[in-house]
Amino acid sequence: MPWHRAQTLEVKEGRAEDADTASVTHAFAGVAESGTIVQLSGPDNPTTLNFLPEAHIVLLEAKDLDASYEEGWTRLREIYGRGQMPRTVNMISGPSRTADIEQTIVRPAHGPKDMHVIIVKSR
């Protein structure tokens, strides 16, 4: 995406910091059966972007939408091969939540409060 052309945005690359309010990342895959996105760690997609900012915006190419987890893992193995997998594979299905002893739901328990996935038509 040509973010550098946007005059009203402060665009930073690299890891997220505590003060960051939003992040934009790209997903390796989306899993239709559960509404999950699959994020791979790497220099262009640091894992901190998935968890530190309050809002997480994820870009997913339509061609990378898989019906099941099995399809996603198969594609991951085909692309990366054996022994060359990314250091981290995060599967995210939305903001985290928990309930304490009084069963009061707390959302988010950790990570972003909001998550938005934008499916981009593949070229």
Cα distance between residue 44 and residue 114, in whole Å: 22
What ranges make up the beta strands (E) of 47-88? 55-61, 65-66
The lowest-confidence range among 8-12, 41-45, 50-54 is 8-12
Q: What is the mean pLDDT of residues 27-55?
A: 91
Higher-scoring residue by pLDDT: 68, 85 = 68
What is the b/e burial string over 47-73, where b = at least 16 CB atoms within 10 angstroms of the residue's CB? bebbbbbeebbbbbbeebbbeeeeebe
% of the chain beyond a pLDDT of 90? 41
Region of 72 on the Ramachandran plot (φ > 0 left; ψ -120 to 50 alpha; else beta):
alpha
CATH of residue 16: 3.40.50.10420
The residue to which tokens 């910091």 are assigned: 17
**What are the beta bridge partners of residue 119?**
60
Q: List the domain range (segments joined by +) for residue 84.
A: 3-120
pTM over 0.85: no
User: How many distinct structural domains can be found in the chain?
Assistant: 1
